[in-house]
Amino acid sequence: MKIQDRIRQLAEENRQKTAECLSRLVQTKSYSSKEEDVCRLIASICEDAGFDEVRIDGLGSVIARVGHGPKSLAFDAHIDTVEVGNMANWDFDPFSGEIVDGLVKGRGASDQKGGAAAMITAGRMLKELGYDGEYTIWFTFTVMEEDCDGMCWKYLIEEEGFKPDLIVSTEPTSCRIYRGHRGRMEIRVILRGISCHGSAPERGVSAAYKAARAALAIEQLNKDLQPDEERFLGKGTITVSQMDVKGPSQCAVADYAMLYLDRRLTWGEDADLAIAQVREYVSKATGDKPEDIIVEMPDYGKTGWTNKEYSQELYFPTWKIDADHPLVKAAVADYEALFAKEPVVDKWTFSTNLVATTGRHKIPAIGFGPGDEAQAHAPNEINRVEDLVICSAFYTLLPYALEGRIEA
């Protein structure tokens, strides 16, 4: 039997087990920085599945291994989730993990514990196949992505020296191959006014009115941003996500205003460019000198479930790899061998841990994951069991495809 046929058969045989694995992960609540229970569950499942090595890194991510080849390939899933939001928007218990009508239901089913469940099955299948090829295959189940995407990998690479040769993110792609996404950053703008009594506002300078004009300037900047030259990732965007205005009292002209901005970065854009653009547009709108406006990139810092403190600036670089990169070609060959049709090769709209591995550290990467991007952070989140089967087969065959071992 051809290797791809054997893998497809194994994935089908593991269909129910993979769905049940995802169900258990969904049932185990794991908000960002509070992932201990699900991490210990994943470590236990990987050990029971016979992985060659299972450990927990300093920040709390689970790192599991199959194989011992000279090259390294990592599959990544973040296993933290956002909160459930307004329960009135849910038609079922967000932590039920119910399996019904070919779906697994609950928070994290697509974003992105589905990828984690398919990875675990792939590791089990590689062990059953006796994989002993050119690759050491790593499975990383990473923490705090929802709070600060990529920080878990920044820690792994820069603090623990763990840097694989190739990476696959298992974030939801609807079983399509993704080869890039826009980067992002967060920007804080602080504007100053001069307070005075509210009965005579003409005596002061209102930071509130400056903020209003600045917000409209950001709206114009968003319209003026241009797509990347290749027109693959599309245009960058910017929006005001928060505003805060303060003065010495409710009867005074505001002397402080803060605008918080979400900036998405296309290819060719970086933090310096984005900050300069904001400074230019806001200063023109408010009449302030550019040097009198504070435009800054905040830091993120948090203590993980292991009590390890870590932080980074809120900048997440754009990444992409070429359509003819060997990793993309191997992924296409993998998909075609398994499913006898051409895959869709595209990009994400949102951001992933690959901002660190590939945007920051230039490790070639692709995305391929179960579930739909639109399910992320939405109520009534679900994933298709069929997607789990497709992805577990795809992950298992990929090292063979990279080695040119797919049989004609």
Dihedral in degrees, nearest 10, Cα atoms 125, 129, 135, 138: 20
If we measure between CA atoms, which residue out of 130, 131, 319 comes closest to residue 232? Answer: 319
Kindly state the tokens that stand for 250: 């409710």
- 103-105 β-sheet, strand order: 99-100, 103-105, 382-384
DSSP-derived pairing of the beta strands 365-367 and 309-313: unpaired
Name 277's Cβ contacts closer than 8 Å, sequence gap at least 6: 221
Tell me which residues are annotated as active site. Answer: 80, 145
**AA letter at 161:** G
Residues in a beta bridge with 62: 56, 141
Q: 187-207 burial by CB neighbour count: b if 16+ within 10 A, else e?
A: bbbebebebbeeeeeeebbbb
Kindly state the tokens that stand for 211: 């903020």
CA angle 382, 383, 386 (to 5 degrees): 150
For 377, list phi and psi in degrees, rounded to 5. 70, 10
Three-state secondary structure of 218-241:
HHHHHHHCCECCCCCCCECEEEEE
Residue 392 to residue 119: CA distance in whole angstroms? 6
